[in-house]
């Protein structure tokens, strides 16, 4: 028997999520690797799944949790054996396949990545899908800059949604590379925290979140955007000639009220960053970079720990933008 959060939808009780005790026989038969989960997280998508605020859960009953880190206990997959340390992000886990907010998981071995030796399971989930996504954004920008001959310190890099998990890790990574980082947030009271991560300036998100001109004063050599909508449009409009924007989120909205002007008049490149179905090679590269490039001290500053039951009450807070950084879940607490 093991404990897990379980989402269900019934005629009498409607949509609900509760802490449940389950039998290992209930784990999905479609998986070929069984994992003893040590740590998980609560991401924005998990908040939607737990509360039912959006239809991210596609089958019932289902264990939410889009990522986890743990140890293989049994495997029918040729790559994995009992005792292997693994991490998982995406592939519909926590949406259409039972996820990581649980003490046990059974998944497809092709979805797993070996946990780098330098990272503990807790550190991996302090990074989580948010930090892994931030690394994919930074890797895309770095490839762009390397091709263009852009050096660290040659201009400002904007990070939107800076108070969230993606934003916090992106700031830390970019600052460590020597870039001048400007953090955009709706919580200016967090300025000291963001500067502690490496931001040199903190700006009010209000300056980006309303409708703006198709072309604006050139400022950014690069942007990491987890917000979308007008924020992404304004970021593109103010990116310097030949610069790049890595878009990975839609906290403000899925719309993109922009024009082609930044792309055809300034040669701006917009990179779409998908963390859910990214190929294995890219995943492995991102996790290896995170293991070597991310300051563990700064990782600790953006992390708060909760237990499995506490995830139920934390979910509404992450949707309301009340959570700073990352929430790691000790599934055995």
Q: Identify the CATH number of the domain defined by range 2-115+302-330.
A: 3.90.180.10
Tokens representing 137 are 């954004």
Q: Note whether 3 and 102 are within 8 A (CB).
A: yes
> For 181-221, what is each residue's pLDDT tens digit?
999 999 999 999 999 999 999 999 999 999 999 999 999 99
Q: Which long-range contacts (CB under 8 A, 24 or more apart) does 92-96 make?
A: 92/58, 92/276, 93/65, 93/66, 93/67, 94/45, 94/46, 94/49, 94/62, 94/63, 94/64, 94/65, 94/66, 94/67, 95/45, 95/49, 95/56, 95/57, 95/58, 95/62, 95/66, 96/58, 96/59, 96/62
Q: Identify the CATH number of the domain defined by range 128-272.
A: 3.40.50.720
pLDDT score of 13: 84
- Separation of alpha carbons 57 and 14, rounded Å: 14
User: For residue 114, what are the β-bridge partners?
Assistant: 86
What are the CA-CA distances from residue 280 to residues 1, 128, 285 (Å)? Answer: 32, 16, 9
- Separation of alpha carbons 80 and 99, rounded Å: 19
pLDDT score of 333: 86
Rounded (10°) angle between helices 121-148 and 280-293: 100
Q: Note whether 226 and 164 are within 8 A (CB).
A: yes
Closest among 43, 99, 98 to 68, alpha carbons compared: 99
Same fold for the domain at 2-115+302-330 and the one at 128-272? Answer: no
pLDDT score of 324: 86
Q: Could you state, in order of their start, the residue ranges of all structural domains in the chain?
A: 2-115+302-330, 128-272
pLDDT in tens, the chain (333 residues): 999 999 999 888 899 999 999 999 999 999 999 999 999 999 989 999 999 998 999 999 999 999 999 999 999 999 999 999 999 999 999 999 999 999 999 999 999 999 999 999 999 999 999 999 999 999 999 999 999 999 998 999 999 999 999 999 999 999 999 999 999 999 999 999 999 999 999 999 999 999 999 999 999 999 999 999 999 999 999 999 999 999 999 989 999 999 999 999 999 999 999 999 999 999 999 999 999 999 988 988 889 999 999 999 999 999 888 888 899 999 998
Q: Note whether 85 and 71 are within 8 A (CB).
A: yes
Rounded (10°) angle between helices 44-51 and 311-319: 110
pLDDT score of 311: 95
pLDDT score of 71: 98
Residue 203: partners with Cβ closer than 8 Å, 6 or more residues away: 182, 183, 184, 185
What are the CA-CA distances from residue 329 to residues 7, 124, 249, 287 (Å)? Answer: 17, 11, 22, 20
pLDDT score of 247: 98
Residue 300: partners with Cβ closer than 8 Å, 6 or more residues away: 126
């Amino acid at each position: 028997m093991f404990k897990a959060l379980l989402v269900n939808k019934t005629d009498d009780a409607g949509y609900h999520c509760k802490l449940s005790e389950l039998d290992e026989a209930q784990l999905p038969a479609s998986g070929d690797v069984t994992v003893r989960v040590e740590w998980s997280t609560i991401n924005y998508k998990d908040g939607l799944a737990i509360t039912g605020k959006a239809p991210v859960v596609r089958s019932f009953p289902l264990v939410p949790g889009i990522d986890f880190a743990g140890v293989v206990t049994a495997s029918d997959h040729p790559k994995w054996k009992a005792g292997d340390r693994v991490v998982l992000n995406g592939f519909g886990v926590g949406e259409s396949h039972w996820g990581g907010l649980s003490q046990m998981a059974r998944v497809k071995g092709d979805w797993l990545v070996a946990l780098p030796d330098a990272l503990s399971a807790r550190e991996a989930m302090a990074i989580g899908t948010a930090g892994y996504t931030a690394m994919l954004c930074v890797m895309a920008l770095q490839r762009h800059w390397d091709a263009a001959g852009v050096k660290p310190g040659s201009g400002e890099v904007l990070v939107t949604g800076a108070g969230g998990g993606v934003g916090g890790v992106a700031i830390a990574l970019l600052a460590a590379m020597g870039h001048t980082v400007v953090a955009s947030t709706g919580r200016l009271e967090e300025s000291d925290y963001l500067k502690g991560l490496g931001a040199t300036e903190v700006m009010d998100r209000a300056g980006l979140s309303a409708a703006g001109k198709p072309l604006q004063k050139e400022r950014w050599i690069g942007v990491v955007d987890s917000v979308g909508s007008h924020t992404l449009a304004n970021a593109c409009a103010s990116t310097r000639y030949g610069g790049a924007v890595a878009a990975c989120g839609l906290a403000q909205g899925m719309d993109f009220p922009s024009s082609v002007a930044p792309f055809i008049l300034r040669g701006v490149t917009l990179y779409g960053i998908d963390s859910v179905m990214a190929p294995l090679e890219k995943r492995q590269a991102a996790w290896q970079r995170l293991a070597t490039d991310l300051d563990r001290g700064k990782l600790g500053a953006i992390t708060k720990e909760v237990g499995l039951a506490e995830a139920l009450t934390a979910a509404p807070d992450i949707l309301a933008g009340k959570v700073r950084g990352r929430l790691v879940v000790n599934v055995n607490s």
